[in-house]
Amino acid sequence: MRFSQTLYSLCAFSAIYGAASSTKAHRPLVLWHGLGDSHSSPGMLEFASLIKDIYPGIFIHSVFIEQDLEKDRRAGFYGNVNDQVEFVADQISAIPELTGGFDAIGLSQGGQFLRAYVERYNSPPINNLITFGAQHMGISDIPPCRPYDFLCQVARRTAKSTVYGDWVQKNLVQAQYFRDPTNLDTYLSANHFLTSINNEVPESRNHTYASNLASLNKLVLVLFTEDKTAVPKESAWFGSEAEPSLRFDEQEVITAADKTLIPMRHQPLYLEDWIGLRRLDEKGGVDFDACVGEHMQMGDCWERLVRKYVGGP
């Protein structure tokens, strides 16, 4: 791993996020940005600044894959997610201010990536994990691109054309959490990220994942009510599209347009507790919330959640 780069960049983050003025009065916070963003973009810097207005002196670390902002943005499209999560785990473990544990906020795909950190590493441990619009049960369509975002457009076209190809599954980020309800057998055999953190393959289930996730104080799942970018939007609440051939009792499912959606508490993943989600839920550790608007249109919605779940002693 690029440990020397990590240490160099942590010094830069101390200046950007005010590590020198951190105080033990507030639990530290880690942020993982979403698709098309970077660790210290203007939006991420503003978000961190607004949180510091609420909790003066709080230590905030924004994780990165690359120090260079454009390369870090590119890493949201291109790269091996398993390697990226491992790199971030090394990065977090090298920060003295995080040694005693921290809260974390994952924005869009940063949400399931932070969950992967909890399940696989969690040292130092996360206390409260808030995920905004995360794709916990994957997506059934590749997110659309902004006009003139050619980096995104090339990645999207490549992923859609051969989403379960070996190269695509190792190199295109969105393909690594693409879960096609009409082709689950291929998904289960080809995918090596989402199938892993959701413990979907019986032969390779890791019981440590369940213990680690269940150790959270709170997992806060935030859905965007008008989300058309993450399909289905209910993936933020561990919902997924059912296989077309399956039929369910009407009380067990949600119907959206012509699709049947399986909610969290009816997922095999939950019922058989493959990842510790049921254990966490039954002890009151899973909270559902929603922000009104499209994907990542957080408005003022984030503030009440930050005040409730971030910055504890």
The pLDDT-based confidence of 37 (bands split at 50, 70, 90) is very high
pLDDT the model gives residue 143: 67
Q: Of the listed 38, 108, 140, 240, which one is catalytic? A: 108
Is 49 known to be catalytic? no
Cα 291 from Cα 297, distance rounded (Å): 8
User: Which one from 37, 103, 180, 227 is the annotated catalytic residue?
Assistant: 227
The string of pLDDT tens digits covering residues 166-213 is: 999 999 999 999 999 989 999 999 999 999 999 999 999 999 999 999
On average, the pLDDT of the chain sits at 89
What are phi and psi for residue 60, nearest 5 degrees? -125, 130
Q: Is 14 a catalytic residue?
A: no
Instruction: Give the least confident one: 1-5, 47-51, 290-294.
Output: 1-5
Amino acid residing at 301: C
* Distance (Å, whole) CA 226 – CA 295: 7
pLDDT of 58 higher than 80: yes
User: 14-18, 30-34, 271-275: which range is least confident on average?
Assistant: 14-18
Positive or negative, the CA dihedral 188, 192, 193, 197 is positive
pLDDT for position 260? 85
DSSP secondary structure, the chain, as one string: --HHHHHHHHHHHHHHHTGGG--TTS--EEEE--TT--TT-HHHHHHHHHHHHHSTT--EEE--S-SSHHHHHHHTTBS-HHHHHHHHHHHHHT-GGGTT-EEEEEETHHHHHHHHHHHHT-SSPEEEEEEES--TT-BSSPPP--TT-HHHHHHHHHHHHSTTSHHHHHHBTGGGGB--TT-HHHHHHH-SSHHHHTT--GGG--HHHHHHHHT-SEEEEEEETT--SSSSGGGGGT-EEPPTT----GGG-EEETTEEEE-GGGSHHHHTTSSSHHHHHHTT-EEEEEESSSTT--TTHHHHHHHHHS---
State pLDDT tens for residues 224-241. Answer: 999 999 999 999 999 999
The CATH class that applies to domain 3-308 reads: alpha beta
CB atoms near residue 35 (< 10 Å):
22
Q: What is the pLDDT of residue 147?
A: 80
Q: Does residue 227 have an active-site annotation?
A: yes
Phi, psi of 136 (to 5 degrees): -65, -30
Q: How many residues are recorded in the chain?
A: 313
In this prediction, residues 67-75 reach a mean pLDDT of: 97
Please give the share of the chain, as a percent, with pLDDT higher than 90.
77
Q: How much is the pLDDT for 245?
A: 58
Catalytic residue among 33, 39, 136, 295: 295
Residue 252 has pLDDT above 80, yes or no: no
114 pLDDT more than 90:
yes
Tell me the per-residue pLDDT of 126-174, one tens digit each, with 9 for 90 and over.
999 999 999 999 998 776 777 878 777 877 677 666 899 999 999 999 9
For residue 258, is pLDDT > 70?
no
Residue type, 243: E
d(CA 179, CA 171): 16
Answer yes or no: are the C-beta atoms of 87 and 2 closer than 8 Å. yes
Q: Which pLDDT score, from 0 to 100, does residue 246 have? A: 52
The pLDDT value given to residue 25: 87
pLDDT at 108: 97
